[in-house]
Each structure stands twice: as structure tokens, then as C-alpha cells.
Amino acid sequence: MKGAETFFVDLARAIVNGLENMGMSALGAEIILLIIKFACIAGIVTVNIIILIWLERKISGFIQLRLGPNRLGPWGVFQTIADAIKLLTKEDIIPSQTDKIIFRTAPIVFIIISLMLYVVLPFGDGMAIVDLNLGVLYFISVGSLGTIALLMAGWGSNNKWSLLGAMRSVAQMISYEIPLVFSLLAVVMIAGSLNMSDIVNAQDKIWFVFLQPVAFITYFIAATAELNRGPFDMPEAEQELTAGAYTEYSGMRWALFFLAEYTNLFAVSALTAIMFFGGFKGPFLPSWLWLPIKAYIIMLVFFWLKWTLPRIRMDHLMAFSWKVLIPVTLANLVVTGCVLHFLK
């Protein structure tokens, strides 16, 4: 049990020691270790997405009393692989009237930004790739950069639906960024740190979801909107905007956007687990198993919301953020501050 708990940390140390014994400088060994870590992240993300898309299709089926994909392999697990092969071999259309450079870079920027989110997540005890002491701030600021990629896609496509979808997503993301940050701030105030490992360690006795139930609810709503997921999937509202910002994208370029959305989904679920559900802390199992388990459970709630609730109207969406969420989170911050002040 002890060995399982520190397996990855020991492995990393063994690699660094091995490289140094082979006559490499300490800095060189660290850099090679970083490259290995990033390769691992890319691998984890890819495999994870294949599972996630299959899971979402299966669960949407179960929610709608259907069976979901079940022809390819047991329970249809190879369905996503068939889709990926098809998307890879589709024709790559770049319409003649687009802004070619922006059109081409938008999906790449989007996926890079969503991969950057994984850098600060502590996957287990001492298993963050870079243990930033401003981890939460980094996560939020990098996460909100994704809007620029969407706007690039909408502008570069030179298509009215794309532009409308992109504009909607910018409006939505900017207004939901504020309650998101405010609700996370309440947690940060209790933990007294922006470092994610410290926040997890501060939840040794009690999860923050019990200390900050209001912040958790507002955070969850704002996160759903940030992820562009139902019931807030306005930017990709198929019935009104064809496919929103992605209308002109075909084949693998479109798939990159799709992958990036699921990458974001896992990252934000992991952040939820870290901020409110004790992150990698849990009994019996090693710490690097607890974070994926919790993140998957939170992701199931995201799926459940998406396939249960109808999409809400754009103006209601904005009004809800500015008139309900922001006052509630602000009041929550004030109350949290006062309680902390009098307890000290």
C-alpha cells in the first residue's frame, strides 16, 4: 500500500537519479523529466477523451431510455475510435473567403490552452507537474483564454453563424468568469492559499463543500456556463446557429475543438474536486486514484445536467449571471470574510 501511494513520485525520482548517474546535469535531468510529464499528460488526455465521448453517448442514451452505441465491441466501446478514424480521413475544407491564418490557428490555440490547464492540477500527493503557488489564479486566467480561440474561429470563418456564436461565447464567458472567481475566492480565503496542494491539504478534516455550500452551487453553475455545456450551450446552439463558432470547420479541425471541450471538462471537474471535495484525499486507495474517481463522478453530474435541462435563452442567461449569481457570490464573500475575522 505504501509503495502504491508513492509509486509515481518514486518513479520520477528514479528517472532523475538515473539520468544524473549517467552524467547529466541536474537541470538537464529535470528538463527531461518535465518532457516525460507533458507526454504523460498528452497521453492521459487523449485516452480520457475517447472514454469520455463514449461515456457521454452511452449515458445520454440511458437518460433518454435508449441503449446508446452497442454494435462495435462490448457496450460499443470502439465507437469513438471509429469516429476518430473517420474524422481523421475527412476532407479538410478551408472556405475561400476565410481569414486563412486565423482559421487554421484557432483550433490549435484552443487545444493548447486546454492542455495548459493540466499543468497545475495535483493528480496525487506531490504529483502536480508544476506546483505553482498561484495555481488557482493560473488555472482561471489560462482557462478564460479559451474565449480568444473561439472568437478567432468565429471571426476567421467569415460566416454569420460563426461570428454570432463566437460573440455569444465571449459575452457568456466574460460574465460567468466573475461569479466563478468570486466563488473560488471564498474557498481560497478559508484555505489561505492559492496553491492547489495547500488547498487540498486544508481539507484534511472537512471538505469545503460543507463549509461553502453557496459558493459550491454558484461555482458549479458558472463552471457549466464556462464549459459551454448544456443547459448553457448557447455558443453552439444547433437549432439557431447551425454549429455556432464551429460551423465552417470540418474533419480534424472540428474534432480538435471537440477534443478541447472535453479536455476542459475533465480539467474543470478535477478543479471542482480539488476545491470542494478534498482533491486527492481519500481512504484505502492511493491518492492518484482518488482525484480521477472524484472528477469522473462530478463529470457524470455535468452529463446528467446537460441531458436533463433544456437550453436557456441568451438574455436570461446574461441576466442570471449579472443579477443573481454576482450579488449572491459577493454576499457570500462578505459573510465568509466576517466569519473568518471573528473566528480568529
Partner 1 sequence: MVLDHDVRMLEKNNIIVTTLEKIWNWGRAHSFWPLSYGCNCCPIEMMASGAARFDIARYGYEVFRASPRQADLLIVAGPVTVKMKPVVQRVYLQMPEPKWVLAMGNCAISGGPFKDGYSVLPGCDTFLPVDVYVPGCPPRPEALFHGLLELKAKVLGQR
Report the site for partner 1 in 114-173 (rule: CB under 8 A).
none
Which residue number, 32 or 82, has a Cβ lying nearer to partner 1?
82
Interface with partner 1, residue 249, by CB under 8 A: yes
Angle formed at CA 153 by CA 302 and CA 231, multiple of 5 degrees: 25
Residue type, 127: M
Q: How far apart are CA 187 and CA 194, in angstroms?
A: 9
Q: How far apart are CA 144 and CA 129, in angstroms?
A: 21
Q: How far apart are CA 116 and CA 130, in angstroms?
A: 11
Report the site for partner 1 in 80-109 (rule: CB under 8 A).
81-86, 88-93
Residue tagged 495555481 (cell numbers): 135
Q: How far apart are CA 50 and CA 198, in angstroms?
A: 32
Which residue number, 64 or 97, has a Cβ lying nearer to partner 1?
64
Alpha helix ranges (H) inside the chain: 2-5, 7-21, 26-63, 79-88, 100-116, 135-157, 160-191, 196-202, 208-211, 213-226, 238-241, 251-276, 287-308, 314-319, 326-343
Interface with partner 1, residue 251, by CB under 8 A: yes
Interface with partner 1, residue 248, by CB under 8 A: yes
Region near partner 1 per CB under 8 A, out of 32-40, 69-77, 147-155, 336-344? 69-77
Q: How far apart are CA 218 and CA 213, in angstroms?
A: 9
Residues 238, 313, 319, 330: which binds partner 1 (CB under 8 A)?
238
Which residue number, 50 or 325, has a Cβ lying nearer to partner 1?
50
Report the site for partner 1 in 180-219 (rule: CB under 8 A).
none
Over the window 21 to 60, marking each residue x when it contacts partner 1 by CB under 8 A and - when it does not, the resulting string is ------------------------------------x---
Q: What's the min distance (Å) between Cβ of 241 and partner 1?
A: 8
What does the radius of gyration of the chain's CA atoms come to, in whole angstroms?
21
Interface with partner 1, residue 67, by CB under 8 A: yes
Which residue number, 69 or 143, has a Cβ lying nearer to partner 1?
69
Q: What's the min distance (Å) between Cβ of 71 and partner 1?
A: 5
Q: Is the dihedral of CA 148, 257, 299, 1 positive or negative?
A: negative
Q: What's the min distance (Å) between Cβ of 224 and partner 1?
A: 22
Residues 48, 79, 114, 287: which binds partner 1 (CB under 8 A)?
79
Q: Is the dihedral of CA 17, 20, 21, 22 positive or negative?
A: positive
Q: How far apart are CA 129 and CA 133, in angstroms?
A: 12
Region near partner 1 per CB under 8 A, out of 1-9, 79-87, 269-277, 325-333? 79-87
Q: What's the min distance (Å) between Cβ of 168 and partner 1?
A: 16
Q: What's the min distance (Å) between Cβ of 87 and partner 1?
A: 8
Q: What does each C-alpha distance from 304 to 41, 216, 222, 225, 309 come to in angstroms?
A: 27, 17, 16, 15, 9
Interface with partner 1, residue 71, by CB under 8 A: yes
Q: What does each C-alpha distance from 51 to 59, 62, 298, 308 come to in angstroms?
A: 12, 16, 15, 21
Interface with partner 1, residue 243, by CB under 8 A: yes
Which residue number, 122 or 165, has a Cβ lying nearer to partner 1?
165
Which residue number, 93 or 331, has a Cβ lying nearer to partner 1?
93
Size of the site for partner 1 (CB under 8 A): 36
Report the site for partner 1 in 252-311 (rule: CB under 8 A).
254
Contact 243, 261 (CB under 8 A): no
Name the residues that contact partner 1, by CB under 8 A: 57, 61, 64-72, 76, 79, 81-86, 88-93, 238-239, 242-243, 246-251, 254
